[in-house]
Structure 1
Amino acid sequence: MQMITNQQFPAHAAIWLPLAAMLLCAPATAASAAVEHRHAAAPAAERQQREPDTHGAPHAPEEGGHREAYATITLSADLARQVELEIRTAGPGHIERHISVYGRLVTPPDQVVQSRARFPGVIRDIEVNVGDEVSRDQVLAVIESNASLRGYELRAPIDGVIQERMANVGEITGNTPLFTLVNNDTLWARLKVFPSQRFEVQPGQDVHVSHNGHLHDSHIASVTPGTRGQPYVVARVVLTNSRGDMAPGDMVSAQVDAEKAAVALAVASRAVQTLEEQPVVFVQEGDRYAARTVSLGRTDGRFTEVRSGLEAGERYVADNSYLLKAELLKAGAAHEH
């Protein structure tokens, strides 16, 4: 068999290797992974071409026409989990028309807080430093009041990180900030919407924000004019930064859902592969995965309409289907007629 190099599939080489090893070494049992062909019964017209007519009389072709044969891979459930095949159920969906916009992440104004001393006095102790994570009501500093000569505690007003420290032990406090705290658990994406797009972008619309390869689904919270006569409006999107991988100042791109069209059957676009210049979807039938030729319709990049070749309720491979395609190509078992 021809091996597939890591250059062709660099992102999933570690996932593909166990599959390749199993296909090369496993015995031909139902639990092992193997490539095979599923052939439909040949129609009578084809049999007439292969077999000589001993009676010398022509035969009329039988009804039914040509039925296709699908190359399949038999894969145990354990190995399917090991190579991380994601299985979904085909069904109705929506194809969306998107508007592309770009912008930048910022911290919401209420999540940047400066902490000041309540009463003038002398700073006796500092409990935190720049970069420290603090919880609300955690002690930041101890200050001795000039009026009472007694110490009181300055506590954090919010959960967050100490971004700035403007205080040192022994200094006299006034009305100047001592600490700046920032909480980036929630960020805003400020997206620029130009005049040609302005009337199609409204509050409440769904939006898909892309940041460093990760997609964040949200909706438009507000649309406001640009500042200082800038030729665009700003669509504000609230994003949850649960992974902690987003930071203020990062650039983002986004797709705003301008229109949704209902379709009877749709699959994840990443499930569609190409064999012999035909689009195919790998359909799961127990431990077998059949490369099913499909007729496609509209697509929005995330989902693709399927017009024929697949039925609602059938289970198909959404993620890592290219691994199955690679095995078929190695074995020379592509879709046959």
Structure 2
Amino acid sequence: MKKNPIISALLLGHIALVGITSSQSVFAGGSHAHQPALTDEVEKGPNNGRMLRDGDLAIELAIFETGVPPEFRIYATNNETAISPSDIDINVKLTRLGDVVDDISFFRENDYLRGDMEIYEPHSFAVTLTATYQGKDYHWHYDNFEGRVTIADDLAKSMDIQTSIIGPKALHQRHQAYGKLVLAPNAIRNISARFAGEVKKLHITQGQWVTKGQKLLTVESNNNLSNYDIKAPMAGYISAQMTGVGEQTGDKTLLTIADTRQLIAEVAVYGEMKKVVPSAPVALTIGDTTVNTNFFDALPQLTDNQAKIYRAYVDNSDGKFSLGQFAKASISLGTFNAVMAVNKDALQAFRDFTVVYTKIGEQYEVRMLELGRESDGWVEILSGINSGDSYVSKNSYIIKADIEKSGASHDH
């Protein structure tokens, strides 16, 4: 979807982008405070963790996720000498959007301290680390935000950013297949002469619609030279004409009548044969028209390419459809109740995740989702957000674009 340049200008002027900052407020035993400039580059330690320093004490706070869910590991040194994990007490609190606090304690493992809970996505939070070493208390605080943006409600309204509430929804599971329109087996008649003779007159032309009992041909009998009429045994159009005035009828087919007022869609199903019942509801898209109907049966044999053919009647009394026309079929496999579902248009890509943006106050933040089944423009959500949460259901691309402008990185 193309962004409005006016909206872009408004965003540049009014949206407060929240990215990862390197600001650290450091209080060592209440003795002093240090606030680096926002342009300070974050110092990384030998384990690719963030370095927190106060005097001779240094703590590396690293996220480890090789073979395990993401978790904190801490390596501490004093005057560049490793501190035994049993000689220092550390606690970390992560304050997430909505004032959710993850309180993490640590236990000794090998030469480091290991956190006792998973650091779940998004890794977007204010970090508060407290440590006690040799009877002295240390405190650090910094913001580690990603995938977050602040937009005033009046501006969001002007850009038509709409939200909905996550909740349960009844979804219809469907299977997509293709087919084409054919004549019903009893919708065609081959017309021949009862008594052999000469065709004296044709009362119809090929392509003409005829009604039941309408006169088709006049034939002069070879036996008694008397004329008799051949009439239409049903309504339909003359689909084929194989004779003309002056020709002998013999016992051949002279005309063919086809009744196209009701056609059959023959739909080839490959992957879901066991799930499709012969009476399943099906929505057929034929050209620019959608027909809601039901299958009435399934042919017992498979096609040469191992498809099973399901058949549904299609009303063609207005002559809108043509024989051989292709149809796209959306076959109902049944209804299921999703505990959570979101509008498919709300989904966006963020790093390697599919996400929606939750809204708390005037702030928006990514929520990484585990997706389930999809149906009719809705997607089942298995995890990653909570029922009752507010999410951006319309124009979520605006949120995505402006979060990307912030250039916030993923801090591990």
Q: TM-score, normalised by structure 1?
A: 0.52
1:109 offset after TM fit, Å? 0.7
1:164 offset after TM fit, Å? 0.8
The 1:233/1:275 distance shift into structure 2, 3 A limit, reads closer
Structure 1, gaps ≥5 residues long = 5-19, 43-48, 51-55, 77-89, 284-290, 318-323
Instruction: Report if aligned partners of 1:127, 1:139 keep a CA contact under 8 Å in 2.
Output: no
Aligned position for 2:312: 237
The 1:274/1:237 distance shift into structure 2, 3 A limit, reads same
1:222 offset after TM fit, Å? 1.7
1:72 offset after TM fit, Å? 3.6
Higher relative contact order (CA 8 A, sep 6+): 1
Instruction: Report if aligned partners of 2:171, 2:375 keep a CA contact under 8 Å in 1.
Output: no
Q: Show the 5 A alignment for 1:291-330.
A: 295=369, 297-300=371-374, 302=376, 303-306=378-381, 308=385, 324=395, 328=398
CA distance in 2 between partners of 1:63 and 1:273 (Å): 20
Aligned position for 2:184: 108
Question: Which of the two has greater helix per residue?
Answer: 1
CA distance in 1 between partners of 2:240 and 2:319 (Å): 23
Which letter maps to 1:205? A
1:221 offset after TM fit, Å? 1.7
Of 208, 220, 223 in structure 1, the residue corresponding to residue 295 of structure 2 is 220
Q: Show the 5 A alignment for 1:233-312.
A: 234-240=309-315, 244=320, 247-248=323-324, 254=329, 256-264=331-339, 266=341, 269=344, 271-274=345-348, 276=350, 279-280=355-356, 295=369, 297-300=371-374, 302=376, 303-306=378-381, 308=385
Of 263, 266, 286 in structure 2, the residue corresponding to residue 187 of structure 1 is 263
CA distance in 1 between partners of 2:331 and 2:358 (Å): 30
Aligned position for 1:202: 277
1:154 offset after TM fit, Å? 3.1
Q: Show the 5 A alignment for 1:6-45.
A: 23=4
Which letter maps to 1:300? E
1:181 partner SS: strand
Question: Which of the two has greater strand per residue?
Answer: 2
Say what the alpha-carbon RMSD is for the aligned residues.
6.0
1:165 aligns with 2:241: yes
1:180 offset after TM fit, Å? 1.4
Structure 2, gaps ≥5 residues long = 18-22, 25-31, 34-92, 101-147, 161-166
CA distance in 1 between partners of 2:314 and 2:343 (Å): 24
Aligned position for 2:99: 65
Of 171, 188, 191 in structure 2, the residue corresponding to residue 94 of structure 1 is 171
2:186 partner SS: helix
Of 199, 206, 211 in structure 2, the residue corresponding to residue 136 of structure 1 is 211
